[in-house]
Amino acid sequence: MNLPAELFPHSLDWFLHIALPVLGAIAVFFMAIAIRRERRQAASNAERSRELERLSSELIRSNRMKSEFLANLSHELRTPLNAIVGFIDLLREGVYGELTPRQSVPVERIEASANHLRILVDQVLDLAKIAAGKLDVQPETIMLRPFLLDVTTEMESLASEKGLAISLTLGAALPTVRADPTHLRQILINLIGNACKYTDSGVIAIRAAVSDEPDSPRSRQSTAKRWLCIAVTDTGPGIPLVDQQRIFEEFEQIDAGPRTHSERRGTGLGLPISRRLADAMGGDVTLESEPGKGATFTLWLPLNGSD
């Protein structure tokens, strides 16, 4: 197609003086809108993140207040409780005169309830301390053989009261471990205590060995190459899969037992405390069980190169 040559200077003029400024103005207009929208978005994002920050610090603060309140409350409850337990002891020893058989029964009930309450208060205090980050962790080098023998001996009377046998198997060349002995003992006593409490007949087997094949969710995430695992296996009723997570939550029990039977009732705090204590030492507590086939609770502790 042939266009007349004089059209070109004219269209160029038109383009330069009319179309270009109009296009420029439109572009500037849209850019201004985009910038405004961007600014508004940035302002609302900043506002939202300030709000989130405020909410999260409020949450942390109220959580800390809750833990402090629980810690103080448990501490305050301990003093009168110790007095109650002390006076029950005196009553039972006959310091205020021999108890008649009729009086002995309620006094025994008071004693069982007071002991239950004392354990509950101690455990709530432990949990509150862990939650408030005030758990005192004092790692020491622990020789496992004498340590585990000692804990097992301590639990033997509880097992034999129920006619249960306890066996301890220690792997060859058990290393020393750096851990807080009080916490380690508390975890093992909880696990062995549960094994005794929930098993009616058979054996409680405790096995300690070193593993380089981590088998707990927590240990798989960790960089530690070697793990000390202490497994407590019982021949009790076992734990259904649906309950295996929740029993590690506070106050969760499969069968809380009759209210009057304090010993059987438990508190539902032993396992959550055990797992958190293990966590504070970089470890974990795991469970393998099938109903009717007993349960194995395993404590995992990371071993560093020199252990």
Ligand X SMILES: Nc1ncnc2c1ncn2[C@@H]1O[C@H](COP(=O)(O)OP(=O)(O)O)[C@@H](O)[C@H]1O
Q: Which residues bind ligand X (CB under 6 A)?
A: 190, 194-195, 198, 234, 236-237, 239, 247, 253-255, 266-271, 295
Rounded to a whole number of angstroms, the minimum distance from the CB of residue 196 to ligand X is 9
CB of 144 to ligand X, least distance (A): 22
Which of 67, 74, 123, 194 forms a contact with Mg ion (CB under 5 A)?
A: 194
Half-sphere exposure of 193 (CA within 13 A, CB side): 17
Q: How far is CA 180 from CA 139, 170, 183, 194, in A?
A: 4, 20, 5, 21
Cβ neighbors of 139 (< 8 A, separation 6 or more) are 178, 179, 180, 281
Q: What gap in Å lies between CA 214 and CA 210, rounded to an integer?
A: 10
**Minimum Å distance from CB 166 to ligand X?**
14
Tokens representing 151 are 């804990």
User: How is residue 179 written in tokens?
Assistant: 């851990």
Work out how close the CB of 274 gets to Mg ion at its nearest, in angstroms, rounded to a whole number. Answer: 9
Smaller CB separation from ligand X, 266 or 302: 266
The residue from 236, 270, 272, 302 that contacts Mg ion (CB under 5 A) is 270
> How many CB atoms neighbour CB 70 within 10 A?
18
Half-sphere exposure (Cβ direction) of 20: Cα atoms closer than 13 Å: 7
Considering only the stretches 198-206, 251-259, 270-278, 282-290, report the one whose residues sit in contact with Mg ion under the rule CB under 5 A.
Answer: 270-278
Q: Indicate the residue among 224 and 267 with the shorter CB distance to ligand X.
A: 267
- Would you state the structure tokens that stand for residue 162, as one six-digit string? 């129920």
Smallest gap from residue 283 Cβ to ligand X (A): 17
**In this structure, which amino acid lies at residue 265?**
R
195 binds, among Mg ion, ligand X, none (CB under 5 to 8 A by kind): ligand X
Q: Which is nearer to Mg ion, 119 or 174 (CB)?
A: 119
How far is residue 49's CA from residue 112's CA, in Å, rounded to a whole number? 52
**Tell me, what amino acid is at 20?**
L
* 236 makes contact with Mg ion (CB under 5 A): no
Helix ranges restricted to H, 132-269: 144-161, 181-198, 217-221, 262-265
Q: How far is the CB of 253 from ligand X (least distance, A)?
A: 3
Q: Is beta strand 165-170 parallel, antiparallel or unpaired with respect to 203-211?
A: parallel
Nearer to ligand X, 202 or 237 (CB): 237
Closer CB to Mg ion, residue 67 or residue 194?
Answer: 194
Residue 175 or 193 having the CB closest to Mg ion: 193
Element (H, E) at 124: helix 101-131
Q: How far is the CB of 270 from ligand X (least distance, A)?
A: 3
Does 199 engage in binding with Mg ion (CB under 5 A)? no
Question: Which residue's CB is nearer to Mg ion, number 214 or number 268?
Answer: 268
Residues that bind Mg ion (CB under 5 A): 194, 270
